[in-house]
Amino acid sequence: MPIYEYQCQACGHTMEAMQRMSDQPLTICPQCEQAQLQKIISRSGFQLKGEGWYVTDFKDGKHKKDTGTSSSE
């Protein structure tokens, strides 16, 4: 069963929930009880960097972080 990560948009509370794919996503924050919970797509999912490579890259399995001849030195 996959574990989903949620973050409350109202109070910032984060939580994890084990759910089936077919389960309804949670919406009610257990902390402030507002329906502001949003599912976080985390880890190997999407990277919101807006460069367009991430979708195909994700399907390939892993990304390379070592394009690193940039200016870190």
Contact residues: Zn ion, CB under 5 A? 8, 10-11, 13, 29, 31-32
When the beta carbons of 11 and 41 are compared against Zn ion, the nearer one is 11
How long, in residues, is the chain? 73
Give me the least distance between CB of 26 and Zn ion, in Å please. 11
Query: At CA 37, angle to CA 34 and CA 40, rounded to 5?
Result: 165
When the beta carbons of 17 and 57 are compared against Zn ion, the nearer one is 17
Longest dimension (CA), the chain: 48
When the beta carbons of 19 and 38 are compared against Zn ion, the nearer one is 38
The tokens for 3 are 């574990």
